[in-house]
């Protein structure tokens, strides 16, 4: 099949070899190799590719969702997105119910941390130009981060080392939702730490 015909049949910025097979669009490994050498396509992971001419239309958040499902963006990337931590993260961080994985491709570095299925909640669906991705609500992103770092946090002094922007946090955090979500983790230590977080925010909340 000619490249232009294939691109027209796919009709979106990215594609998988499985999708081409299901849609009965002829595609051979030799074609993929040639198109990649010619600079027409790039690889996101094995079996998943994108059209290079559409690269500027694709955002890393979309790629995060494509690479590994189920997953939602959370942890450091989400906390920076909400203005809660000051340092730019150089990886898209996400939660999954599958095993922990990492991927690196032309769109960056992608890290997936595991939580049990019962904790896979607290996210919104973000629609993009060509697809979608899932983004943790602020309260869930914060709890995911705290839960996966419980071994490093024991008291209020430890929280200061995390460099949270409590002024910003207090303006956007919903305390009732935060406490409700914290209880669903069934961790006394997490609930204690979440209470410390609320205490740090309390001057602004009041």
Asked if residue 130 has pLDDT above 80, the reply is no
What value does the mean pLDDT take over residues 80-95? 94
The CATH topology of domain 60-205 is Beta Polymerase; domain 2 (3.30.460)
Q: Which residues of 159-196 are buried (b: 16+ CB within 10 A; e: fewer)?
A: beeeebebebbbeebeeeebeebbeebebeebeebbeb
User: Is the model more confident about 176 or about 129?
Assistant: 176
- pLDDT score, position 82: 97
Q: What is the mean pLDDT of residues 92-105?
A: 98
d(CA 197, CA 125): 27
**pLDDT tens for each residue of 181-203:** 999 999 999 999 999 999 988 75
pLDDT at 15 over 90: yes
pLDDT of 34 higher than 60: yes
Q: Is the pLDDT of residue 77 over 90?
A: yes
Q: Where are the domains of the chain?
A: 3-57, 60-205
pLDDT tops 60 at residue 205: no
């Amino acid at each position: 099949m000619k490249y232009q015909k294939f691109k027209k049949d796919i009709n979106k910025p990215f594609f998988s070899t499985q999708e081409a097979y299901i849609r009965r669009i002829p595609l051979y490994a030799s074609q993929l190799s040639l198109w990649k050498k010619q600079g027409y396509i790039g690889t996101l992971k094995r079996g998943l590719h994108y059209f290079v001419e559409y690269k500027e239309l694709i955002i890393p958040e979309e790629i995060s969702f494509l690479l590994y499902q189920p997953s939602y963006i959370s942890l450091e990337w989400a906390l920076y997105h909400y203005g809660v931590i000051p340092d730019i993260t150089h990886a898209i961080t996400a939660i999954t119910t599958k095993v922990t994985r990492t991927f690196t491709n032309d769109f960056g570095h992608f890290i997936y941390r595991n939580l049990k299925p019962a904790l896979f909640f607290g996210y919104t669906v973000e629609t993009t130009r060509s697809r979608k991705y899932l983004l943790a609500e602020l309260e869930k992103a914060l709890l995911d981060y705290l839960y996966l770092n419980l071994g490093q946090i024991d008291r209020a002094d430890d929280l200061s080392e995390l460099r949270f922007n409590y002024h910003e946090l207090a303006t956007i955090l919903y305390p009732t939702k935060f406490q409700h979500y914290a209880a669903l983790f069934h961790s006394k230590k997490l609930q204690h730490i979440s209470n410390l977080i609320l205490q740090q925010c309390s001057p602004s909340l009041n």
